[in-house]
Amino acid sequence: MIRLRAGRPAAVAAVGAHCDDIAIGAGGTLLTLCLAHPGLRVDALVLSGGGGEREQEERAALAAFCPGADLRLTVLKLPDGRLPAHWAEAKDAVEELRAGTEPDLVLAPRTEDAHQDHRGLARLMTTAFRDHLVLGYEIVKWDGDLGRPAAYQPLTPETAERKVRLLQEHYPSQRHRPWYDREAFLGLARIRGIECHSRYAEAFDINKITLDLGDDPCACC
Q: Any residues with CB less than 8 A from the CB of 156 and at least 6 apart, and which?
A: 199, 200
Each residue's pLDDT tens digit, 75-101: 999 988 888 889 999 999 999 999 999
Radius of gyration for the alpha carbons in the chain, expressed in angstroms and rounded: 17
Predicted pLDDT of residue 221: 43
CATH class of the 11-206 domain in this structure: alpha beta
Q: Is the pLDDT of residue 220 over 60?
A: no
Report the first-to-last Cα separation within the chain, whole angstroms: 34
Q: What is the pLDDT of residue 36?
A: 95
Q: What pLDDT is attached to residue 106?
A: 97
CA distances to 21, 53, 74 from 198, rounded to whole Å, are 24, 36, 34
pLDDT of residue 80: 87
Residue pair 126/109 in contact by the 8 Å Cβ criterion = no
What is the band of 45 on the pLDDT scale with cuts at 50, 70, 90? very high
Mean pLDDT to the nearest integer, 173-202: 96
| Tens-place pLDDT, residues 97-130 | 999 999 999 999 999 999 999 999 999 998 999 9
Q: For the chain, which residues make up each domain, given as ranges?
A: 11-206
Beta bridge partners of 108: 136
Q: Residue 71: what pLDDT?
A: 98
In order, the DSSP letters of 2-65 are: --------SEEEEEESSTTHHHHHHHHHHHHHHHHSTT-EEEEEESS-TTSHHHHHHHHHHHHH
**156-174 pLDDT tens trace:** 999 999 999 999 999 999 9
Decide if pLDDT at 214 tops 90. Answer: no
b/e burial code for range 130-155 (CB count within 10 A of at least 16 → b): eebbbbbbbbbbeeebbeebebbbbb
> Rounded to an integer, what distance in angstroms lies between the CA atom of residue 38 and that of residue 70?
9
77 vs 85: CA distance, rounded Å = 13
Q: Is the pLDDT of residue 138 over 90?
A: yes
Residue 215: the pLDDT is 67
